Chain A
Amino acid sequence: MADVNGNGKFLVGIYDDDDVVLKAVKDVKQAGVRIHEVYTPFPIHGLDVALGHPRTRLGIAAFLFALSGTTTALLLTAYTEAFDWPMIVGGKDSYSFPVYIPVIFELTVLFCALGMVGTFLVSNGLGPAVKPLMFDLRTTDNKFAMAIDLSKNKLAEGDIEQILRSSGAAEVNVKQF
């Protein structure tokens, strides 16, 4: 959200309904307005696609973290049981792969979950005591806000406001950061 750090001026369309805002995204884009982002109290399926956000690559990160967990567990069990202090327990070889499967599985899950959640927080700029960029405080309750960055749009403020209203916005506010 680096583009909101300056003294950006935004028009914020407030919508009452998730279906209305989903359709409005398409209408507003059709009218040639660049939408900064839409803020909603709950996930709306298809909204990110309608806004043209690229598909998240969180899955790749999750896979790599899982792989690092598997590798750590394989190396840990192999190093301790086969090289550093070989031990024969229960008549099994000092290195016996099948008995390590539980530990390998658990560490895979642990690394994957923690790594993915960490990536999620970092990629969204979330963290303890981060100050949120709220365009309207009601978007965590029952309203849906569409933010338009005026500096990134060639259309006049009044025209954009008209477009937002005709797309179903109940109110249009100005927000200055």
Chain B
Amino acid sequence: MHVTSAVRTPLVTGGKTYADVTEDVSRQVEGRPTREWTIAFTISVIVLLYGTACVFWTWWEGLGVWGLNKTIGWAWDITNFVWWVGIGHAGTLISAILLLFRQKWRTAVNRAAEAMTIFAVICAASFILMHMGRPWLAYWALPLPNTWGSLWVNFKSPLVWDVFAISTYFTVSLVFWYMGLIPDLATIRDRARSKVSRYIYGALSMGWNGSAKTWARYEYMSLILAGLSTPLVLSVHTIVSFDFATSVIPGWHTTIFPPYFVAGAIFSGFAMVQNLMLIIRVVFKLEDYITVEHIESMNKVITLTGSIVGVAYLTEFFIAWYSQVEFESYAFINRATGPYWWAYWAMMTCNVISPQLFWSRTIRRSVVWTFTLSVVVNIGMWFERFVIIVTSLHRDYLPSSWAMFHPTLFDISDYIFSFGLFFTLFLLFSKFLPVVNMAEVKAIIKSSSEKLPKSVSGVAKGERVTNPAFNKNVE
């Protein structure tokens, strides 16, 4: 019953069997860390340690070590926060929205993309804690009656909505990701040869045995989780955009913000997924699972969301003129021609022009082009948030308050901290957990494999890892 549509290109190449999938994905979990991994991990940890020291100094000395001033009260901190939250949108989009759309190509990339989402949200949250200046009082953001009476958090504030949105998003993404991991952790558990790894993966896999009843419930649960996560992922960046849109700052007070922010988030998130997957597929030799087809599909999403972002930029400009509000017009003309013109044009070039190159099939399917343009897109999306935040603030209502923002060493180092944190977590994930969802890839092998060997479940070529315990069952 091997049915492959003639018009669809295969998603799994190399005629893989079920056993091959297990073998190819489990290899890096079971083997010793490679040299590349060790080097990359060491660098990440050093960066993280340096960053941590700088973050602690920021807290110790106070936010005065940043370049903020009376006019520009939000700068790199909130730019980085919005940037990381945006990156954290791709994972849930891939696993939830593409599940509802029955896009089979999601199966090979969803695991790593969801992990990326979780780590990106952790990085985003770290900027909120930094920005608080006194992180030990972070619980003030929660709806708890305070000690002086019964004053509560202000539920009318978008900043409180953000607390709920981001913590819910983090929790649900983590649960969704972990539930997806359980069957694969059971696979690793049953292959484990050392007592330690059998114990650890055994504890993590929660006693999974893959019975038909469990799978039926599991599939049903995944569907509902996807249904829940779809509006959730759209709500998160909508609410982040409310932080700006509900204010009365020219350039922020715009009803276009929610869809514009969501599109931008998916745009930058997919660019980051591309960067990570292009490295993973080579380092872990997973080219048969993460194929050029997958890369092309993600590039199409980048082109679509990049175009939406481009239209949003132009719409903002048009409305600034069409509304005849002089403050709004000034804000936009100042963005393009004022002292921060370079940030604006960096954003326009990176976000509007570069994704349009993907209309060319050659560029869309080229690994080098994809990697380069994905980096460019993420630079552009950082500048977008910088433009929105710093450029809108630096011209205050009174010309005497006009100011410029100059980043200090700590602005830069605290941003570097988030890269150290992100890559340390991501490298740990990629070493100790299966980076491709084995169960889901096995489920699509019959419909999406390049060619099917006689028995899909046949034993893999070469030496096969067998568990001594497993032979007891075989008479």
Q: Are B152 and A81 in contact (CB-based, < 8 A)?
A: yes
Task: Answer yes or no: A28 CB below 8 A from chain B CBs.
Answer: no
Q: A135–B473 Cα gap in the complex (Å)?
A: 8
Of listed B22, B171, B212, B446, residue having the most chain A CB within 10 A: B212
Interface segment among B120-128, B214-222, B342-350: the answer is B214-222
Question: Does B473 contact A175, Cβ atoms closer than 8 Å?
Answer: yes
Q: Please tell me if the beta carbons of A113 and B225 are within 8 angstroms of each other in the complex.
A: yes
How would you classify the secondary structure of chain B's contact residues: helix, strand, loop or mixed? Answer: helix
A64 contacts partner chain B, Cβ-Cβ < 8 Å: no
User: Are A136 and B187 in contact, CB atoms less than 8 angstroms apart?
Assistant: no
Interface presence of B41 (CB below 8 A): no
**Contact A107:B216 (CB < 8 A) given known A132-B207, A143-B457:** no
Tell me the minimal C-beta distance from A142 to chain B in angstroms: 4
How far is A171 from B172 in the complex, measured between Cα atoms in Å? 42
Please tell me if the beta carbons of A133 and B209 are within 8 angstroms of each other in the complex: yes
Residues in B neighbouring A143, C-beta threshold 8 A: 457
Which residues from chain A contact B168 at a C-beta distance below 8 Å?
A: 106-107, 109-110
Task: Give the CA-CA distance A48 to B456 in the complex, in Å.
Answer: 22
Cβ of A105 < 8 Å from any Cβ of B? yes
By a CB distance below 8 angstroms, the chain A residues around B157 are 89
* B95 interface contact, C-beta 8 A: no
One of A41, A76, A116 near B18 (C-beta < 8 A): A41
**Which B residues are in CB contact (< 8 Å) with A33?**
none
CB distance B206 to A140 under 8 Å?
A: no
Q: Is the CB of A142 within 8 A of B160?
A: no
Which of B55-63, B231-239, B377-385 is near enough to bind chain A? B231-239
In the complex, which residue of chain B has the Cβ closest to the Cβ of A62?
B224
CA distance A108 to B204 in the complex (A): 28
B18 and A142 form a contact (CB under 8 A): yes
* Distance to closest chain A CB from B212 (angstroms): 5
Chain B residues with Cβ below 8 Å from A123 are 217
Partner-binding segment picked from B178-186, B315-323, B412-420: B178-186
Chain B residues contacting A129 (CB-CB under 8 Å) are 202-203, 206-207
Distance between Cα atoms of A136 and B186 in the complex (Å):
12
* Distance from A19 Cβ to chain B, minimum over Cβ atoms (Å): 5
Q: Identify the interface centre among A40, A109, A123: most chain B CB within 10 Å of its CB.
A: A109
B439 lies within 8 A of A41 (CB): yes
Q: Is A121 part of the contact surface with B, judged by Cβ < 8 Å?
A: yes
CA distance A121 to B205 in the complex (A): 11
Task: Determine whether A156 belongs to the interface, using a CB cutoff of 8 Å to chain B.
Answer: no
With A106-B165, A174-B475, A175-B473 in contact, do A39 and B212 touch (Cβ < 8 Å)? yes
Chain B residues near A133 (CB-CB < 8 A): 207, 209
Please measure, in the bound complex, the distance between the C-alpha atom of A76 and the C-alpha atom of B152, giving whole angstroms. 10
The size of the chain A interface, using a CB distance under 8 A, is 74
Are B17 and A59 in contact, CB atoms less than 8 angstroms apart?
no
Per DSSP, are chain A's interface residues mostly helix, strand or loop, or mixed?
Answer: mixed
Contact B212 A48, beta carbon cutoff 8 Å: yes
Residues of chain A within 8 A of B450, CB atoms compared: none
A99 and B156 form a contact (CB under 8 A):
yes
Kindly state whether residue B211 has any CB partner on chain A within 8 Å.
yes
Interface centre among B228, B242, B446, B475 (most CB of A within 10 A): B228
Given contacts A39-B210, A102-B161, A109-B168, A140 and B155 within 8 Å (CB-CB): no
Q: Contact partner of A58 among B217, B235, B473, CB < 8 A?
A: B217
Q: How far is the CA of A90 from the CA of B247 in the complex (A)?
A: 11
A70 interface residue per 8 A CB criterion:
no
**A5, CB-defined interface residue at 8 Å:** no
B212 CB contact (under 8 Å) in A17, A37, A142: A37
Known A-B contacts A41-B210, A53-B212; the reply to A109 vs B155 at CB < 8 A is no
CB-CB nearest in chain B for A98: B156
Q: How far is the CB of B3 from chain A (nearest CB, A)?
A: 11
Residues of B221-253 whose CB lies within 8 A of A: 221, 224-225, 228-229, 231-232, 235, 239, 242
Q: Is A27 an interface residue (CB 8 A)?
A: no
Choose among B172, B190, B446 the residue that contacts A134 (Cβ–Cβ < 8 A): B190
Q: Is A154 close to B, CB under 8 A?
A: no
Q: In the complex the two chains form, what is the Cα distance from A47 to B456 in whole Å?
A: 19
For the complex, what is the distance from the CA of A83 to the CA of B215, rounded to whole Å? 47
Chain B residues with CB below 8 A from A90, complex form = 156
Question: Once the chains are docked, how many angstroms separate the CA of A105 from the CA of B239?
Answer: 12
Given A81-B155, A84-B152, A116-B221, verify A41-B187 contact (CB < 8 Å).
yes
B467 at the interface (CB under 8 A from A): yes
Instruction: Knowing that A56-B220, A124-B217 touch, tell me 11 more A-B residue pairs with CB under 8 angstroms.
Output: A16-B458, A41-B22, A42-B440, A76-B143, A85-B149, A106-B164, A107-B164, A107-B168, A126-B182, A126-B208, A144-B457
Interface residues of A (CB under 8 A from B): 12, 16-19, 37-44, 47-48, 51, 53, 56, 58-59, 62, 76-77, 80-81, 84-85, 87, 89-90, 92, 96, 99-100, 102-103, 105-107, 109-110, 112-114, 116-117, 120-121, 123-144, 171, 173-175
A-B contact pairs, 22 of them (CB 8 A): A37-B212, A40-B210, A41-B442, A42-B440, A43-B439, A53-B216, A56-B217, A58-B224, A84-B152, A99-B156, A102-B239, A112-B224, A116-B221, A126-B208, A128-B206, A129-B207, A134-B190, A137-B469, A138-B190, A140-B187, A141-B191, A144-B457
